[in-house]
């Protein structure tokens, strides 16, 4: 479910009914084992349960989904410092007949005439140290969150507007609360005043800062610069120089990023240890080695807009370079504290990848067209192990929370399949096979949603936020930073 259906925009008619339903939601959440963030499918299922238990019209579903998400997000938002919060108000709250405010590209410039609720809300936000904005749309807020200026948003809007905002908040794992207006019409609207004030003033006993995942990404990218690589591959022999150039070249480096980000999230330690750095390098060595060998087997001459190792140096040197990178990966893991656990995970993934590649090579040799299920199984062997290895490396380096292994396995399975489908879709689009393109597009979204569904039992909210973000950034190749 990627959006709220237009037929479910009804708002409970009176304040007493709305508060009664909010109490019912409170009771549900208190007895629930779920942790935020929740997917749209999770929220939809819970809303239907409450509709059944409270004997409500299905038209209340959209309002309930918003309020359920609010209740799950309260503790998270309350733990964020006021100065990192933003209040976003709609222009339609103003008194259309008496308002004298001007409107520019950033929104309404309130003059504090006290003819509506807007100046009251803005004054309270200012007293608390919060930013506020009277504007339509969510793009500006997402940009502020991506830049690190704010960490959460408390927004007021009609359900029809929230239809557009809500999926963005869920997919970007933005912690926030969205208070629905009591009626739409885009003019002279109203909202439950005291309810909004209560939300604005929420405060946890201890404030916390959200992890800056964009900063982690930048750190990982710095690791793969020439100076940082000196103490990893310090030999100057020809084979090492080629491998070094390949490691320093283009690439998204999702796998070393996953090692670092999962470690940072699960361990709750600010600094990334040397073991994390070595494990991150190792997983990238394995990945780049597989690409070197794949290019030989696929007879590919170009990658990242430049010649492949095979095209530039020939088959023997390319094979040797890939083998060297594999050896370097295991050497780096051997230097880590939990070396045997890391090596065991890497070797199992290595074997699975080779089996998958062997199946594909055999298929090509015999010119066999795979069924949809056979193709998915091939991806499960070829691509999933690399993602799972990176996620599990982060857990092992944290030396804790190994009970998360089943969740990581299921998440990596769905994410890796979606990633490989997306990668192959780019080639399919070049030959314009519309029927197959449509099938792959549908499967990509199916497996992205499966990846999110695997997180329903995860109790670590910050880890869930990271994995929600990854599903959006990796699968959709979003250009927005990892905040």
Query: Residue written as tokens 């940009």?
Result: 143
What pLDDT does residue 283 have?
A: 97
Q: Is 188 left (phi over 0), alpha (psi -120 to 50) or beta?
A: left
C-alpha distances (whole Å) from 376 to each of 27, 256, 343, 415 are 41, 25, 27, 12
List pLDDT tens digits, range 228-246.
888 888 888 999 999 999 9
List pLDDT tens digits, range 368-390.
888 889 999 999 998 999 999 99
Nearest to 475 by CA among 406, 387, 375: 387
Nearest to 189 by CA among 163, 157, 216: 157
Alpha helices of 210-314 — where are they, by DSSP H? 213-223, 226-229, 238-248, 254-267, 274-298, 309-313
Tell me the β-bridge partners of 102.
Answer: 109
Nearest to 466 by CA among 265, 176, 221: 265
In contact, 329 and 322? CB cutoff 8 Å: no
Tell me the β-bridge partners of 302.
Answer: 307
- All residue ranges of the chain with pLDDT < 70 are 1-9, 95-115, 136-140, 142, 146, 163, 166, 185, 401, 429-433, 477-483
**Residue 2: helix, strand or coil by DSSP?**
coil
Domain parsing of the chain, residue ranges: 6-200, 213-402
In contact, 177 and 70? CB cutoff 8 Å: yes
Give the whole-angstrom CA distance, residue 280 versus residue 228: 13
C-alpha 229: how far from its chain's center? 29
Give the whole-angstrom CA distance, residue 257 versus residue 343: 19
Under CATH, which number does the domain 213-402 receive?
A: 1.10.600.10
What pLDDT does residue 408 have?
A: 95
Give the whole-angstrom CA distance, residue 232 versus residue 93: 59
What pLDDT does residue 479 have?
A: 44
Give the whole-angstrom CA distance, residue 292 versus residue 415: 23
Residue 117 in tokens: 């609720």
In contact, 448 and 414? CB cutoff 8 Å: yes
Residue 377 in tokens: 């199984």
Residue 240 in tokens: 């090492």
Long-range interactions of 1-5: CB distance < 8 A, separation 24+? 1/40, 1/41, 1/44, 2/40, 2/167, 2/445, 3/163, 3/164, 3/166, 3/167, 4/61, 4/62, 4/65, 4/159, 4/162, 4/163, 4/166, 5/61, 5/62
- Residue 276 gets which letter from DSSP? H
Give the whole-angstrom CA distance, residue 345 versus residue 355: 16
What pLDDT does residue 410 have?
A: 97
Q: How many CB atoms lie within 10 A of CB 16?
A: 9
What pLDDT does residue 189 have?
A: 83
What are the DSSP calls for 319-346, one per residue?
Answer: HHHHHHHHHHHHHHHHTSTTHHHHHHHH
What pLDDT does residue 97 have?
A: 66
């Amino acid at each position: 479910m990627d959006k709220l259906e237009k037929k479910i925009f009804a708002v409970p008619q009176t304040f007493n009914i709305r508060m009664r339903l909010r109490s019912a939601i409170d009771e549900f959440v208190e007895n629930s084992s779920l942790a935020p963030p929740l997917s749209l499918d999770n929220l939809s299922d819970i809303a239907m349960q409450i509709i059944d238990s409270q004997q409500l019209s299905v038209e209340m579903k959209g309002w309930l989904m918003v309020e359920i998400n609010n209740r799950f997000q309260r503790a998270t938002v309350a733990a964020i410092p006021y100065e990192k919060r933003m209040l976003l108000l709609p222009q339609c709250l103003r008194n259309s007949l008496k308002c004298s405010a001007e409107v520019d590209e950033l929104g309404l410039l309130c003059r504090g005439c006290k003819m509506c609720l807007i100046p009251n809300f803005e004054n309270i936000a200012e007293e608390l140290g919060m930013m506020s904005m009277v504007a339509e749309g969510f793009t500006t807020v997402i940009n502020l969150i991506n830049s690190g200026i704010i960490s959460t948003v408390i927004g007021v809007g009609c359900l029809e507007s929230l239809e557009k905002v809500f999926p963005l908040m869920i997919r970007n794992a933005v912690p926030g609360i969205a208070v629905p207006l009591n009626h739409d019409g885009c003019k002279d609207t109203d909202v439950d005043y005291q309810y909004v004030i209560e939300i604005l003033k929420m405060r946890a006993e201890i404030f916390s800062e959200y992890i800056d995942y964009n900063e982690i990404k930048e750190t990982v990218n710095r690791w793969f610069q020439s100076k940082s690589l000196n103490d990893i591959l310090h030999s100057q022999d020809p084979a090492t120089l080629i491998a070094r150039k390949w490691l320093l070249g283009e690439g998204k480096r999702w796998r070393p990023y996953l090692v670092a980000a999962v470690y940072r999230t699960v361990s709750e330690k600010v600094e990334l240890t040397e073991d994390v750095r070595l494990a991150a390098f190792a997983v990238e060595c394995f990945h780049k080695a597989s690409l070197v060998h794949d290019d030989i087997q696929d007879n590919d001459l170009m990658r990242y807009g430049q010649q492949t190792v095979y095209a530039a140096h020939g088959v023997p040197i390319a094979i040797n370079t890939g083998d060297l990178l594999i050896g370097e990966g295991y050497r780096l893991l051997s230097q880590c504290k939990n070396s045997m656990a890391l090596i065991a995970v890497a070797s199992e993934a290595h074997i699975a990848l080779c089996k998958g590649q062997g199946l594909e090579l055999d298929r090509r040799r015999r010119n066999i067209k795979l069924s949809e299920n056979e193709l998915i199984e091939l991806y499960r062997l070829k691509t999933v192990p690399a993602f799972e290895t990176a996620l599990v490396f982060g857990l092992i380096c944290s030396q804790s929370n190994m009970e998360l292994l089943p969740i990581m396995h299921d998440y990596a399975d769905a994410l890796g399949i979606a990633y490989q489908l997306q990668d192959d879709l780019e080639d399919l689009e070049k030959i314009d096979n519309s029927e197959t393109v449509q099938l792959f597009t549908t499967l990509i979204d199916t497996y992205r949603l499966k990846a999110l569904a695997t997180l329903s039992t995860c109790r670590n909210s910050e880890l869930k936020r990271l994995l929600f973000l990854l599903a959006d950034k990796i699968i959709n190749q979003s250009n927005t930073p990892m905040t």
